[in-house]
Amino acid sequence: MKPLFTMLVLILPVRIFGQTVDFQGQASSWGTINNQSQSQIGIRYIPDCTLIKSISENWSLESEIACQGVQWWQFDQLDLHSKKRQLKAYRLWLRLSSSQFEARIGLQKLNFGSARMLRPLMWFDRLDPRDPLQLTEGVTGLLLRYYFLNNANIWLWGLYGNKDPKGFEIFPTSERNPEFGGRIQYPLYKGEIAVTAHHRIVQSIESSEDRLAFDGRWDIEIGLWVELALTRLDWRLIPENYQKLGTLGMDYTLGIGNGLYCQAEHFTLQASKKWKDPGPTRKLTALSVNYSFGMLDLVSAIIYYDWDETDWYRVFQWQRTYDFWQIHIMGFWNPDQFQLIQFRSDQSLWIGRGIQCMIVYNH
């Protein structure tokens, strides 16, 4: 099934399109070192081809084909500790769309919600606010969206074949069962609210997991947003079947110089046997600021505070942008044991104090 699907997505655009083709790419290299004598150097290239064809006055077909090639080497005490070479699809989808409807099938990015740094609705991606490239794995499935004339919209999706854990997931999804869900967004007083639901079968334990969420955002002098999510795992062997996550956030641009942009979020996580019962609570607070010096330079900082472990996580970044090039220099100052639950990837390089330098070329 997968080889056939891949061939359809790759071959169909070649036969249909042929005229409107947009090819872009991003090459990047980086080096990271911390005060634990751990370091990493790496290179990445993502070629991206978009093909568009108008098939009638109101309908068009679009396809995106992108792959990712990565090679990195990690060192411990200057000795090669590990290395990785990977070449795989990054985006591979086909979309049929009109002014009010779209259907997209394939390997795609699927994300939503109002929160920026501490996201209860990080269900299908692992976007890291510290990452200047904002890269994330995609999911394979079908997404349908309809847009009403009052700016309300409805999403429906079905996912299949995504064997690795996504977002906050600990257990992967059963490969034999599809996942499905939906989302409704509705405008409300200088903003919008949304309700989202999702269902899947968890691999190995073969238990169902259901998620329900509410989020909203409003711009009233300052930006305000809220994001709440409830997850129920139907597995009797765990003492706490329900997980409750919530984030409250705000942002504002202070009239200092070119404008000092600030945003803050407070996040809570509870687990309990019944959804309405209280349980142990994990609390995190995040603050992000950035300031632009002219057209080329941007400085920013993201600071997290873990209220339970009384730990601080700090990342400071300077970015310079040219027509095709970007330079990023990031300094970090974190605990010696990384326990920030928002990020599930390997954090061994981000412990303690250190620096990362990155050069990016976009064409």
Residues 113-126: tens digit of each pLDDT: 999 999 999 999 98
Contacts of 16 (CB under 8 A, 6+ apart): 53, 55, 61
* 119/133 Cα distance (integer angstroms): 18
- pLDDT interval class at 343 (50, 70, 90): low
* Domain 109-362 CATH class label: mainly beta
Residue 207 CA to residue 204 CA, distance in Å, equals 8
Residue boundaries of the structural domains of the chain: 1-91, 109-362
- Nearest to residue 200, comparing CAs of 136, 113, 146, 124? 124
Spell out the long-range contacts of 317-326 with Cβ–Cβ below 8 A and sequence spacing 24 or more: 317/130, 317/132, 319/132, 320/296, 321/295, 321/296, 322/296, 324/361, 324/362, 324/363, 325/359, 325/360, 325/361, 325/362, 326/132, 326/358, 326/359, 326/360, 326/362
With 70 as the cut, is the pLDDT of residue 256 above it? yes
CA–CA–CA angle 301, 307, 308 (5° rounding) = 135
To the nearest 10°, report the CA torsion of 182, 209, 120, 299: -90
Q: Which element (helix H / strand E) includes 107?
A: strand 101-108
**Which of the four pLDDT bands, split at 50, 70 and 90, describes residue 19?**
low
SS3 196: strand
pLDDT digits (tens, 9 = 90+) for 130-179: 899 999 999 999 999 999 999 999 999 999 999 889 988 888 898 889 99
Region 303-316: mean pLDDT is 94
**Percentage above 70 pLDDT, the chain:** 92
| Model pTM score | 0.88
The pLDDT of residue 324 is 95
CA–CA distance, 265 with 224 (Å, rounded to integer): 10
Using the predicted structure, report yes or no on whether residue 193 has a pLDDT greater than 60.
yes
3-state DSSP of 268-292: EEEEECCCCCCCCEEEEEEEEEEEE
